[in-house]
Chains A and B, each alone.
Chain A
Amino acid sequence: MDLAFMAETWLALLAGLPLTLRLAGWSVLCGGVLALVLALMSLSRHPALVWPARAFVFVFRGTPLLVQVFLIYYGLGQFRPTLQAWGVWWFFREAYWCALTALSLNTAAYAAEIIRGAILSVPYGQIEAGRACGMGRLTLARRIVGPIALRQALPAYSNEIVSMVKATSLASIITLAEVTFIAQKLIAQTFRAVEIFICAGSIYLLINIAVTRAILGLEYWLSPHLRAAPREPPASEAAHA
């Protein structure tokens, strides 16, 4: 293993880091908002809301992300006249927006199920108790269902965020120069696949260490009831006795 070469490679790959982070960050954010809407839709009792949400989740969870990225970029590219007529071609013309769309829609489908499950897991007794105190629907959502569901969702959601960070590597197939794209380019120039992929892998690993630590911290902060109670200090009077 050539350490000088690996250090050089690592620095070259860092050039792709901002794009990787931007793709991961924005797709998790946009996908998260969409997921909340989808989860609420599928929990409502109105079939006109339930079925579109279920169909969306079914399609985007059931097909490979690679295929989705490819179809949104190259597939929609074949309908340029229609998209131009609709005035949305400027959006789909850019590889970045296509990648962001595919990643957001994909994560929304998974996250919608996580959120739906978390809301359903709120014990009914707690909701009943809230109602008994005279809480309205909004207050109930804000003070009872929301906080409990959030705590429930966090561990599964951290999985989803971690897999989105890794999924950004698929943007490399549509000419976006993120970390994996640069890695593949370096391999083609130097033919040293092993060293370069070790470096690329370590970058994703570092991002994900930060992500999982942050979510663990959030979990800790949101679950004060699970922490051990602080020990009572011995009463000072007793010492004098």
Chain B
Amino acid sequence: MRIVTTLGAALIAVAAATGALAQGRTVRIATEGAYAPYNFTAPGGKLDGFEIELAAELCKRAKVTCEIVQQDWDGIIPALQAGKYDAIMAGMNITEKREAVIDFSIPYVQEAGSFGVAKDGPLAKLPGDGQVFNFDKDNAGAVKALEAMKPMLKGKTVGVQVSTIHSTFLDKYLKGTVEIREYKTTEQHDLDLLSGRIDAIFASASAIRGTFDKPDFKDYTLAGARFSGDVFGRGVAVGLRKGEPALKKLFDEAIASMNADGSLKALSMKWFKSDITIKS
């Protein structure tokens, strides 16, 4: 009996110690700070946005101290692998290519890619009317919607952020139809849309809406059909180095708990003005 008690106490102590190892640490999370409303740099230089608030809440639930660091998009995965930080929360979608080099938590939101155009421009009447087509669930419908848009898009210049699911989409489905211009940040293609150097931008619907909410962009609007599935992946998730199951478990559980009590939906309503959380 005495042996059993001692063994039990020892087991509890060991369990507590391992738990503390994962929970007491400081987790450094990288974000881009240029992808409103996911993450952006407020006028005062402070990082703000959906993912900044989400990260704070996830860390609170996982009982870890978090530190947000800013990192350019094009180096965000190499720097994670180099151990400059432990996680990425930068509107990053789960794709096969990224999964080959890093791990992902369960996704927290998912949304469709859309075109943003000038209200009085030639593309304002793109067919499709904001309807979302999923290449995985309704491939024929998605292809048909895309074909309907092609005659109008022919020869137009479309801006997109380099090496995103959106640039992959344009490369795969619209290469040859439109001229693709690749930018380092979405903010840069927004500026070029404003200056009229490009006819449209292609990004996630909420990111475009976030931009077009600004007074400078009052003459711009979302247009045409929206797309998801296939190259768009399974949703936006926390990117993690491979081989860190403890950290992945912390994020997975915290995301699941926020999904369950509706706080993730509330955060989505606050920043995206719509519920883009993933229903299981």
Contacts and interface: CB of A to CB of B under 8 A. Distances in A.
Given A77-B197, A173-B184, A175-B182, A187 B78 contact: yes
A78 B78 contact: no
A193 B197 CA distance: 31
Contacts, number: 44
Interface in A167-225: 173, 175, 184-185, 187-189, 191-193
A187 B74 CA distance: 7
B135 to A, nearest CB: 21
Contact of A188 (B81, B162, B181, B194): B162
A223 to B, nearest CB: 45
B163 A189 contact: yes
Contacts of B280: none
B196 A191 contact: no
A184 B74 contact: yes
Given A80-B195, A175-B181, A184-B162, A74 B188 contact: yes
Contacts of A61: none
B7 interface: no
Contacts of A78: 191, 194-195
Contacts of B184: 173
Interface residues of A, number: 16
Contact of A185 (B75, B162, B181): B162
A22 interface: no
B101 interface: yes
Nearest to B161: A188
Interface in B139-194: 162-163, 181-184, 188, 191-192, 194
A93 interface: yes
A26 B54 CA distance: 49
B77 interface: yes
Given A187-B74, A188-B162, A193-B75, A77 B183 contact: no
A187 B75 contact: yes
A80 B191 CA distance: 12
Interface of B: 73-75, 77-78, 81, 97, 101, 162-163, 181-184, 188, 191-192, 194-197
Interface of A: 74, 77-78, 80, 93, 95, 173, 175, 184-185, 187-189, 191-193
Given A175-B182, A184-B74, 9 more contacts: A74-B195, A77-B194, A78-B195, A93-B196, A184-B162, A187-B74, A188-B163, A189-B97, A191-B77
7 contacts: A74-B188, A175-B183, A184-B74, A185-B163, A187-B74, A187-B75, A188-B162
